[in-house]
């Protein structure tokens, strides 16, 4: 337990109590010094405040900056082009070859037909004149005897009151004859010819002028 200790008596120590000095005397400062210091601090604070207010008033007002609008571009999604439809090629039909009917040259046709044969008929002994063209005004090439079988290669052509056919004689000579004096016939291989063609200008042969010959009927020449 602590023991109580009696404080020392200043009188016993021989020390005198401290006295305050007036107006500058002693250890403590005088009241007017604190007052002057407060005034100085106040003046300095007011000066700083005025300077701060002047700086704020002298500063140009800040321009309100408008925010830059952001443009949002809406892009449509790309259109996907449809793939072209590939059509399978249509096969071209192969044309069917139809062979031409084979001519039966062994039998005479029903009428004078190109490609078939004909026989000189109805001239008697006068014969038929082979001409260079389908007209009585063309050149007389030769006289064809009665019954001569010849191949029809062209015609018919109508001129001078006659129907003209282009024929080829067994010897290879070609010309035109009046259709009124020929009739359908079979090919020479199946029916042998009854007469041979004679050359033009033979004495006793009628002229190929269409006039009447010595025998009847009169063939056109």
Residue 208 and residue 181 in contact, taking contact as beta carbons nearer than 8 Å: no
Helices (H), the chain: 10-13, 31-58
pLDDT greater than 90 at residue 165: yes
Residue 152 and residue 178 in contact, taking contact as beta carbons nearer than 8 Å: no
Asked whether residue 217 is domain-assigned, the answer is no
pLDDT greater than 50 at residue 35: yes
Mean pLDDT score, 210-215: 35
Asked whether residue 17 is domain-assigned, the answer is no
167-207 pLDDT, tens digit each: 999 999 999 999 999 999 999 877 444 444 444 443 433 33
Residue 134 and residue 155 in contact, taking contact as beta carbons nearer than 8 Å: yes
Residue 221 and residue 128 in contact, taking contact as beta carbons nearer than 8 Å: yes
Taking all residues of the chain, what is their mean pLDDT, rounded to a whole number?
76
Residue 218 and residue 129 in contact, taking contact as beta carbons nearer than 8 Å: no
> Residue 125: its pLDDT value, please?
85
pLDDT greater than 90 at residue 157: yes
Asked whether residue 45 is domain-assigned, the answer is yes
> Residue 194: its pLDDT value, please?
47
Asked whether residue 48 is domain-assigned, the answer is yes
The residue out of 20, 38, 57 marking a domain boundary is 57
Residue 144 and residue 169 in contact, taking contact as beta carbons nearer than 8 Å: yes
Residue 139 and residue 130 in contact, taking contact as beta carbons nearer than 8 Å: no
* d(C-alpha 194, C-alpha 149), whole Å: 8
- Tokens 């039909």 belong to residue: 93
* d(C-alpha 120, C-alpha 81), whole Å: 80
Residues 126 and 194 in one domain: yes
pLDDT greater than 90 at residue 143: yes
* d(C-alpha 108, C-alpha 118), whole Å: 8
Please give the C-alpha separations between residue 184 and each of 100, 112, 146, in angstroms, as whole numbers: 21, 5, 14
Single pTM value for the model: 0.45
Asked whether residue 189 is domain-assigned, the answer is yes
> Residue 204: its pLDDT value, please?
39
Asked whether residue 77 is domain-assigned, the answer is no
More confident residue, 174 or 105: 174
Asked whether residue 155 is domain-assigned, the answer is yes
Write the CATH number for 185: 2.30.30.40
| pLDDT above 90: percentage of residues in the chain | 36
Asked whether residue 154 is domain-assigned, the answer is yes
What's the domain count of the chain? 2
- Domain with 164, as residue range(s), is 117-199
Q: Would you call 139 exposed, middle or buried from its count of C-beta atoms within 10 A (0-12, 13-18, 19+)?
A: exposed
40-82 pLDDT, tens digit each: 889 988 988 888 888 877 766 666 667 787 888 777 777 877 7
Q: Of 167, 163, 145, whose CA–CA distance to 154 is shortest?
A: 167
């Amino acid at each position: 337990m602590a023991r109580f200790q009696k404080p020392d008596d200043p009188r016993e120590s021989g020390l005198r109590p401290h006295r305050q000095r007036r107006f500058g005397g002693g250890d403590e400062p005088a009241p007017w010094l604190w007052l002057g210091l407060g005034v100085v601090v106040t003046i300095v604070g007011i000066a700083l405040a005025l300077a701060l207010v002047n700086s704020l008033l002298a500063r140009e007002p800040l321009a309100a900056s408008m925010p830059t609008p952001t443009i949002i571009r809406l892009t449509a999604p790309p259109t996907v082009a449809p793939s072209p439809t590939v059509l399978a090629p249509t096969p071209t039909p192969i044309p069917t070859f139809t062979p031409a009917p084979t001519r039966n040259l062994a039998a005479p046709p029903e009428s004078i037909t190109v490609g078939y044969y004909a026989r000189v008929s109805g001239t008697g002994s006068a014969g038929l004149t082979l001409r260079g063209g389908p007209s009585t005004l063309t050149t007389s090439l030769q006289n064809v005897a009665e019954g001569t079988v010849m191949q029809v290669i062209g015609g018919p052509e109508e001129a001078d009151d006659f129907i003209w056919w282009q024929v080829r004689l067994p010897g290879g000579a070609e010309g035109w004859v009046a259709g009124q004096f020929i009739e359908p016939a079979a090919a020479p291989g199946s029916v042998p010819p009854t007469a041979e063609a004679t050359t033009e200008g033979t004495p006793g042969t009628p002229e190929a002028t269409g006039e009447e010959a010595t025998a009847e009927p009169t063939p056109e020449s």
